[in-house]
Structure 1
């Protein structure tokens, strides 16, 4: 009951889904594909392709990698110069983070210990994470999670 283009796109999606199901089936079904890391690899490959296309401009996304000057007549994207922090700005931010960490050292250690314990025990870490975010830097929280859960490394 739809237009030709909708029917055609639906058929293309169905064909792609069936082809993917066939590829999973060739690997021994969902469990066999999981054991070989097929799904994770496909997701990573598609994510990498998306990021490359977004970065090189072959996938234009308005406001992300394509900008338009409303005053321009021709409508072609203008070159946008990126804003970079100066060395003094970087050092200022680092010194503020160091001062914050020093000022909350005792509270941070306690909060990180509770966060690690919740993660190891399989508890809901959200409330504990919110408490830790008040006294810890993002790096401290990240390191705590890596310490108890390990760090993912992509197989290349």
Structure 2
């Protein structure tokens, strides 16, 4: 949906670059939620002996799509950006529709007690990571490095 809105605010009739930037951030937020969920679903559905080949194919196809999309965008984006966003939005909606109609949920429901144990182990894992001094120094230095680049 965000790509269709981006197409609208970059149409031949209207140009709102700040709204486009905000919509891109919303799109990144949803992509950030989608990727781990889709990866987990594929991990659950693919047999152990096939996982390496499936994830290798996904990795290479993702890189190929990024390269081809970047090259195509470099040549045609200035003149046809409205049509690009319209195309990407339409394909994304069709992909969502196909996913909704033809892919069934693979999550197995657990007891409430299992969920409590899992959430407790997650917090204990975070606590264990936070106690690692070298990692925390590294994390803090990465944060400062990123922050200084932004400033």
If the length of structure 2 is used for normalisation, what is the TM-score?
Answer: 0.35
Structure with the greater alpha carbon radius of gyration: 1
More helix by share: 2
By relative contact order (CA 8 Å, sep 6+), the higher-ranking structure is 2
